[in-house]
Amino acid sequence: MTADNHQRQDDMVCLPRTEFESLLEQAACRGARKALKEVGLADEKAANDIRTLRDLAGSIKTMQRTFLQTIVRWITIGLLALLVAGVAAKIGPFTPK
């Protein structure tokens, strides 16, 4: 065994699977708390803030859908108005006899 291999084995830690999984879970929880704290969602009002953001996102989606529906209605009404005006100009009282 070389000195390099011996050094690598000294750096290794052996743990039972349950302890390893427990350490992983603790590290994940700590990381999640740290991430939430960094974005300002670590206090008691965080759940309410998330609900508010979800409501806002839903409202924006509804607004976009409504806007598109309104534009389509206006275009449809405009085209129908042009069609009616064209028919009225052809057969209406404005045509000379």
How far apart, in whole angstroms, are the C-alpha atoms of residue 45 and residue 49? 6
CA dihedral (66, 67, 68, 73) positive or negative: positive
Q: What is the pLDDT of residue 12?
A: 82
- Residues 38-82 pLDDT 10s: 988 888 888 898 899 999 999 999 999 999 999 999 999 999 999
- Residue 72: its H or E element: helix 46-91
Q: Average the pLDDT over 9-17 and give the result.
A: 82
The percent of residues in the chain predicted with pLDDT above 70, rounded, is 86
Give the global pTM.
Answer: 0.49
Tokens of residue 34, six digits: 């740290």
DSSP helix, strand, coil percent of the chain (3-state; round to 5): 80, 0, 20
Q: How many residues are present in the chain?
A: 97
pLDDT class of 2 with cuts at 50, 70, 90: low
Mean pLDDT of all residues belonging to the chain:
87
